[in-house]
Amino acid sequence: MIPRPFEYHAPASLPDALSLLHRYGEEAKLLAGGHSLLPMMKLRFASPGHLIDLGKIGELKGIRQVGGEIHIGAMTTENELVWSKLLAEKVPLLVEGARLISDPQVRYKGTLGGDIAHGDPGNDHPALMLALDASFVLRSASGERVVPADGFFQGLYSTRMEANEVLTRIQIPVPSAGTGWCYAKLKRKTGDFATAAAACLLRTKGGRVEFARLALTNVAATPVKVRAAEQYLQGRPLDDGAIAEVARLAMSVCEPTEDQRGDVTYKTAMAGEMTQRALRTAASRAQ
């Protein structure tokens, strides 16, 4: 469990990081919290020639409100999300999700940006980001672009982030007051990936759904935004029938792979079950 040799770089500023990234290209890997990359390196599955540690770059940290959005630095840690009063008030879904990630020590090191950029469908933030209509600020030597979470996740470990880009900031539109939320996650034990999980935002008006977002974790090669369900719910009362139909729609987009957590049938069923629970809880929290 020893990584292969590599060169280590700890740029003090974003421009420095970008020029290093430009210099080493495919040879380089960005090091955020390290709890996905370092284990892979210790198993010698991954052996980058150069590690660029983003840990010393202050501008990549912090949580603040900018107009109608919450801006979170990519290097903000899970525990910082868990403990953020601003998030608890404005984006409680993110706090609930972060609390269910791995274990305390990992949450001190693990970062929001790293979790997203890794492109692992087993990570929790990708689905949370889809549910929150978040967008990602990607910086490269040639400039900056803002990419919506929807469409960002392309495949297993593959995203729309280019090799020369750094994810610097996550931008989340503050859900309007009264929006209910829930991240329902089923896992075998602390520190495990989800067997299946569902992230949901829900707002109702006069007993009918006015706004709904639903995304799933670890039931396909990418996190899945369940569009059909979001559309179906529009303007409907959230009765048992509707909830059952949404679960059915969620299950219909699942393409999980069998592993120690369960077979395809179980994981698909759990995606449906987590969806139902997320919906009911979100509804109970909506005003």
Partner 1 sequence: MKVQLERSFPMPAPPEVVWKMLQDVELVAGCMPGARITERIDERHFKGTVSVRVGPATMTFRGDIEVQGLDAATKSLHLLGKGTDSTGTSGASMDLTASVQGTDAGSQLVGKSEVSMSGKAAAFGSRVMNTVADQVLKQFADNFALKVQALASPAPASAAPGEVASKTAPAGAPLNGLALLWAILKDWLRALFGKSAA
Partner 2 sequence: MAIPRNVSFTLNGKSVQVMVEPRELLIHTLREKLQHTGPHIGCETSHCGACTVDIDAMSVKSCTVLTVQCEGADVLTIEGLERNGQLHALQEAFTQDHALQCGYCTPGMITRAYRLLQENPQPTEQEIRYWMAGNLCRCTGYQNIVKAVQTAAAKLAAQPA
Partner 3 sequence: MPDTNVVARERQDKLQGMGCSRKRKEDARFIRGKGSYVDDIHLPGMLFGAIVRSPYAHARIKSINKAKALAVPGVVAVLVADDLKPVNLAWMPTLGGDVQAVLADKKVCFQYQEVAFVVANDRYAAADGVEAVEVEYEELPAIVDPRRAMDKNAPIIREDIADKKEVGHGPRTHPNHIFTWEAGDKAGTDAVFASAPVTVRQEILNPRVHPCPLETCGCVASFDKATGQLTVFMTSQAPHLVRTVSSLLSGIAESKIRIVGGDIGGGFGNKVAVYPGYVVAIVASIVTGVPIKWIESRIENLSTTAFARDYHGVGELAADKDGRIRALRFTALGDYGAFNAHVSATKFPAGLFSICTGSYDIPKAYCRVDAVYTNKAPGGVAYRCSLRVTEAVYLIERMMDVLAQKLGIDKAEIRRRNFVKAEQFPYTTAFGWTLDSGNYHRALDKVLQAVDYEALRKEQAQKRAQGELMGIGISTFTEIVGAGPTKACDILGIGLFDSCEIRVHPTGSVMARLGTMSQGQGHATTYAQIIATELGLPSEDIQIEEGDTDKAPYGAGTWGSRSTPVAGAAAARAARKIMEKAKKLAAHLLEVGEGDLEWDIDRFRVKGNPSEGKTMKEICMAAHQSNLPAGMEQGLNAVEYYDPPNLTFPFGAYVCVVDIDRFTGETKVRRFYALDDCGTRINPMIIEGQIHGGLTEAFAVAMGQAIPFDENGNHLGNSLLDYFLPTSAEAPHWETDFTVTPSPHHPIGAKGVAESPHVGGIPCFSNAVVDAFAHLDVAHMDMPHTSYRVWQQCNALGLNKR
Positions that interact with partner 2 (CB under 8 A): 1-8, 10, 31, 34-35, 38-39, 41-42, 51, 53, 55, 79, 102-106, 108-109, 190-191
**Binding partner selected for residue 118 from partner 2, partner 3, partner 1, none, CB under the kind-specific 5 to 8 Å limit:** partner 1
Side chain identity, residue 129? M
Count CA atoms within 13 Å of residue 184 on its CB side. Answer: 18
* Closer residue to partner 2, CB minimum distance, 7 or 263: 7
Rounded Cα gap, residues 142 and 203, in angstroms: 40
Q: Which of 107, 139, 261, 280 binds partner 3 (CB under 8 A)?
A: 261
| Contact status: 259 vs partner 1 (CB under 8 A) | yes
Q: What angle do CA 71, 182, 229 make, to 5 degrees?
A: 100
Cα–chain center distance at 271: 17
49 near partner 3, judged by CB under 8 A:
no
CB atoms within 10 A of CB 252: 13
Say what angle helices 240-252 and 264-285 make with each other, to 10 degrees: 140
Minimal distance, residue 154 CB to partner 2, in Å = 27
CA distance 265 to 40: 29
Query: In terms of residues, how long is the chain?
Result: 287
* Beta strands per DSSP E along 41-134: 50-53, 63-66, 69-73
4 interacts with partner 3 by CB under 8 A = yes
Q: Which stretch binds partner 1 (CB under 8 A): 64-72, 75-83, 113-121, 135-143?
A: 113-121
Please identify, using beta-carbon distances, which residue of 155 and 191 lies nearer to partner 3: 191
Q: Kindly list the residues in this chain that would bind partner 1 in the complex (CB under 8 A).
A: 29, 36-37, 40, 43-48, 118-120, 122, 154-158, 221-222, 257-260
Contact positions toward partner 3, by CB under 8 A? Answer: 1-2, 4, 44, 103, 186, 188-192, 195, 240, 244, 260-263, 265-266, 269-270, 273
